[in-house]
Chains A and B, each alone.
Chain A
């Protein structure tokens, strides 16, 4: 299983970033907690609009199963849902902490966006 966590940095000890579409990095890890890939999200950080939609597309293209982040807006939510990606919102702490919370099944998946669109 591939788990994506929005992050301020490139490794598991980095602080996670609560933003989805405009997080500087998205860390992809296995369910065992191994680092698989780091997506440099700079293109979307500077996007005028549609950052969440494009970030969702990059996760879908990589076959990600679960996204763990802070906020998820309506457009990103629609796109992630279409790709069958489960979404855990309102996460805090380091990437590692978010992953272990997920492993301990302490995360419930969202059934709706938790913030307004940013436009």
Chain B
């Protein structure tokens, strides 16, 4: 089973939920930090990293001796990363998404590919939990190829917990796509609600079942609860605003280490999700494709 932890708003507690859920599942779990711009599961889990692989994107290299300036490469590119202009072909590697369309279409076979470095994927162990995270090169804008590399390392024999980046754009969609369930972590404030709505609207078209974990549940107002009722989002768990939790977090400790009483809550959270995933797969069986 693959469970993504997303939020919309930053700082709601995605990593707190993802790491403690993985830690409770222990040898059954694998954690994959897909927030490749600012990964920080490793801060809470202190994994030993035993493998680091560079992630590259293939970008076009033109052999001008072969090129007949037909311009087909530029016509197929959606991102203006390659362009026939004047008597030359220009490439803009930072715009290239690495689809390889220009290479395929070139009638003169004048285009080859050279790798452009985007970041690294590191794998290791955090106790008995398998650990994977991606780290993007600073200044690089192309996160999805690194997220895809992180996800290639999903161990199907384990419960994969994917910690998503905040927001509601390509990196989030690339993280949650193909998972069985999305936990939306939010807080009961106007900010939490605003960004939750955006993230739910972005993820819902993928047809993945979702549920909400309400963090700092005893602050703010009741609007997130009202929204969840209206949007038929099950409330999976609530965590109070507790000084003890904040102190543990500030030291870089996992929630279940700060307060082991929460282990029960995370076990119930997983059972809850398992049921919801099971139910939704039954619904899919009934409706013919």
Which parts of B38-85 form the interface with A (CB within 8 Å)? 74, 79-81, 83, 85
B141 interface residue, CB < 8 Å from A?
yes
B90 touching A50, Cβ below 8 Å: no
B88 interface residue, CB < 8 Å from A?
yes
Residue of B nearest to A21 (CB): B80
Complex CA gap A84/B86 in Å reads 7
B79 touching A50, Cβ below 8 Å: yes
Residue of A nearest to B89 (CB): A82
A39 interface residue, CB < 8 Å from B?
no
Complex CA gap A53/B90 in Å reads 10
CB distance from A54 to the nearest CB of B (A): 6
Which residues of B are interface residues toward A (Cβ below 8 A)? Answer: 74, 79-81, 83, 85-86, 88, 90, 92, 95, 141
Please tell me the size bucket of the interface on A: 10 to 19
Q: Given A49-B95, A50-B92, A119-B141: A79 and B85 within 8 A (CB)?
A: yes
B79 touching A49, Cβ below 8 Å: yes
A79 touching B90, Cβ below 8 Å: yes
Q: B74 contacts which chain A residues (CB < 8 A)?
A: 57
Q: Which of A47, A54, A57 has the most CB of B within 10 A?
A: A57
Complex CA gap A7/B79 in Å reads 24
Which parts of A52-82 form the interface with B (CB within 8 Å)? 53-54, 56-57, 60, 75, 78-79, 82
Besides the known contacts A53-B95, A75-B80, A119-B141, 8 further A-B residue pairs in the complex with CB atoms under 8 A apart = A49-B80, A50-B95, A54-B80, A56-B83, A57-B74, A60-B85, A75-B95, A83-B86
Q: B81 contacts which chain A residues (CB < 8 A)?
A: 50
CB distance from B141 to the nearest CB of A (A): 7
Q: Given A50-B79, A50-B80, A53-B80: A82 and B92 within 8 A (CB)?
A: no
Residue of A nearest to B77 (CB): A50
Q: A53 contacts which chain B residues (CB < 8 A)?
A: 80, 83, 90, 92, 95
User: Which of B79, B85, B92, B141 is the one whose CB lies under 8 Å from A57?
Assistant: B85
Q: A78 contacts which chain B residues (CB < 8 A)?
A: 90, 92
Q: B79 contacts which chain A residues (CB < 8 A)?
A: 48-50
Complex CA gap A119/B88 in Å reads 25
Q: Which are the 8 A-B pairs with shortest beta-carbon distances?
A: A50-B80, A83-B86, A53-B80, A83-B85, A82-B86, A60-B85, A82-B85, A82-B88
B92 touching A75, Cβ below 8 Å: yes
* 26 A-B contacts (beta carbon < 8 Å): A47-B80, A49-B79, A49-B80, A50-B79, A50-B80, A50-B81, A50-B92, A50-B95, A53-B83, A53-B90, A53-B95, A56-B85, A57-B85, A75-B80, A75-B92, A75-B95, A78-B90, A78-B92, A79-B83, A79-B90, A82-B86, A82-B88, A82-B90, A83-B85, A83-B86, A84-B86
Q: Which of B85, B86, B88, B90 has the most CB of A within 10 A?
A: B85
Complex CA gap A116/B105 in Å reads 32
